[in-house]
A and B are shown apart, each in its own frame.
Chain A
Amino acid sequence: MEILKLENLEKHFEVHSRSRVRRNLIRAVDGVSLAIPEGEIHSIVGESGSGKTTLGRMVAGLLEPTSGSVVLGGVDMFRSGRGEIRNLRKSIQIIFQDPYASLNPRFTVRQILEEPLRLNRLPVQEGDLLDTLRQVGLTPPEDFTGRYPHELSGGQRQRVAIARAMIVRPRFIVADEPVSMLDASMRGSFLQLILSLRKRDGITMMMITHDISIAHYVSDRISIFYRGKVVEQGRADDVVLNPAHPYTRALIESVPSFSRGDSEGSRHPEVPSDVPDPATGCMFRNRCPKAMVACEAVPGATEIAPAHFVSCHLYGGTGVK
Chain B
Amino acid sequence: MIVEIRGLTVRYGPEGSGVRAVDHVSLDVDEGILYGIVGESGSGKSTIAMAMMGLLPHGASVEGGSISIDGFEVTGRKESQLASFRGRTASLVFQGAMNNLNPLMRIEDQVAETLLLHRMCGRKEALERARRSLELVGLGKQVWRLYPHELSGGMKQRAMIAAAVVAEPRVLIADEPTTALDVITQVQIVNLLRQLREKLGMTVILISHDFPLVSEASDRICILYGGKVCEVGSNSHIVRKPLHPYTAGLLNSVVSLRERREIMTIPGEPVDLSRPPKGCRFMPRCGSAMEKCSLYAYDSYSPEPGRLVYCEMYSGPDGNTEA
**A residues within 8 Å of B by Cβ?**
47-48, 153-156, 183-189, 191-192, 210-214, 216-217, 240, 250-252, 254-263, 266-269, 271, 273-274
Q: Do A262 and B236 touch (CB < 8 A)?
A: yes
7 contacts between A and B (CB under 8 A): A183-B40, A185-B249, A187-B263, A213-B256, A255-B183, A260-B216, A268-B191
Residues of B within 8 A of A217 (CB): 255, 260, 263
Contacts known (A191-B263, A254-B187, A262-B235); A184 close to B254, Cβ less than 8 A: yes
Q: Which of B2-10, B103-111, B163-171, B206-214 contacts A (4 or more CB under 8 A)?
A: B206-214
Q: Do A251 and B155 touch (CB < 8 A)?
A: no
Count: A-B pairs, CB below 8 Å: 133
Residues of A within 8 A of B254 (CB): 184, 258
Q: Do B257 and A255 touch (CB < 8 A)?
A: yes
**In whole angstroms, what is the CA distance A189 to B266 when docked?**
8
Residue of B183, B190, B211, B217 near A47 (CB, 8 A) is B183
**In whole angstroms, what is the CA distance A70 to B258 when docked?**
34
Q: Do B253 and A185 touch (CB < 8 A)?
A: yes
B41 at the interface (CB under 8 A from A): yes
**In whole angstroms, what is the CA distance A267 to B195 when docked?**
12
Contacts known (A184-B40, A254-B183, A266-B194); A261 close to B215, Cβ less than 8 A: yes
B265 at the interface (CB under 8 A from A): yes
Q: Do A256 and B216 touch (CB < 8 A)?
A: yes
B205 CB to closest chain A CB (Å) equals: 14
Residues of B within 8 A of A259 (CB): 258-259
Residues of A within 8 A of B270 (CB): 153, 183, 185-186
Q: Do B251 and A258 touch (CB < 8 A)?
A: yes
Contact with A along B93-111 (1 / 0, CB 8 A): 0000000000000000000
Q: Do B155 and A256 touch (CB < 8 A)?
A: no
- CB nearest neighbor in A for B180: A48
Contacts known (A156-B269, A269-B184); A257 close to B155, Cβ less than 8 A: no
Q: Do B152 and A257 touch (CB < 8 A)?
A: no
**In whole angstroms, what is the CA distance A260 to B216 when docked?**
7
- CB nearest neighbor in B for A187: B253
- CB nearest neighbor in A for B192: A266
**In whole angstroms, what is the CA distance A262 to B236 when docked?**
5
Residues of B within 8 A of A155 (CB): 269
B245 CB to closest chain A CB (Å) equals: 12
**B residues within 8 Å of A by Cβ?**
34, 40-41, 151-155, 180, 182-188, 190-191, 194-195, 209-213, 215-219, 235-236, 239, 249-251, 253-260, 263-267, 269-270
Q: Do A256 and B212 touch (CB < 8 A)?
A: yes
Residue of B153, B186, B215, B259 near A254 (CB, 8 A) is B186
Residue of B239, B253, B259 near A188 (CB, 8 A) is B253
Known contacts A216-B257, A256-B213; 4 further A-B pairs (Cβ under 8 A): A185-B250, A213-B257, A257-B257, A273-B154
Residues of A within 8 A of B191 (CB): 266-268
**In whole angstroms, what is the CA distance A128 to B60 when docked?**
46
**In whole angstroms, what is the CA distance A262 to B240 when docked?**
10
Q: Do A256 and B210 touch (CB < 8 A)?
A: yes
**In whole angstroms, what is the CA distance A185 to B230 when docked?**
15
Contacts known (A153-B269, A261-B239, A273-B185); A187 close to B249, Cβ less than 8 A: no
- CB nearest neighbor in B for A266: B191
Residue of A154, A183, A263 near B219 (CB, 8 A) is A263
Q: Which A-B residue pairs are the 6 nearest by beta carbons? A: A188-B265, A47-B182, A189-B265, A183-B40, A256-B212, A188-B263
Residues of A within 8 A of B269 (CB): 153, 155-156
Q: Do A267 and B187 touch (CB < 8 A)?
A: yes
**In whole angstroms, what is the CA distance A139 to B258 when docked?**
34
Contacts known (A191-B263, A257-B212, A263-B219); A273 close to B41, Cβ less than 8 A: no
Residue of B182, B253, B265 near A48 (CB, 8 A) is B182
**In whole angstroms, what is the CA distance A160 to B286 when docked?**
25
B109 CB to closest chain A CB (Å) equals: 20
**In whole angstroms, what is the CA distance A153 to B270 when docked?**
8
Q: Do A269 and B187 touch (CB < 8 A)?
A: yes
Q: Do B188 and A269 touch (CB < 8 A)?
A: yes
Q: Do B213 and A263 touch (CB < 8 A)?
A: no
Residue of A154, A185, A263 near B216 (CB, 8 A) is A263
Residues of A within 8 A of B180 (CB): 48
Residues of B within 8 A of A252 (CB): 257
B98 CB to closest chain A CB (Å) equals: 12
Q: Do B239 and A258 touch (CB < 8 A)?
A: yes
Q: Do A192 and B255 touch (CB < 8 A)?
A: no
Residues of A within 8 A of B217 (CB): 263
- CB nearest neighbor in A for B221: A261
Q: Do A251 and B239 touch (CB < 8 A)?
A: no
Q: Do A188 and B255 touch (CB < 8 A)?
A: yes
Residues of A within 8 A of B266 (CB): 185-186
B221 CB to closest chain A CB (Å) equals: 9
**In whole angstroms, what is the CA distance A188 to B251 when docked?**
12
Q: Do B194 and A213 touch (CB < 8 A)?
A: no
Q: Do A185 and B215 touch (CB < 8 A)?
A: no
**In whole angstroms, what is the CA distance A210 to B210 when docked?**
14
Residues of A within 8 A of B185 (CB): 273
Residues of B within 8 A of A214 (CB): 255
B173 CB to closest chain A CB (Å) equals: 18
Residues of A within 8 A of B253 (CB): 184-185, 187-188
**In whole angstroms, what is the CA distance A151 to B182 when docked?**
32
Q: Do B183 and A261 touch (CB < 8 A)?
A: no
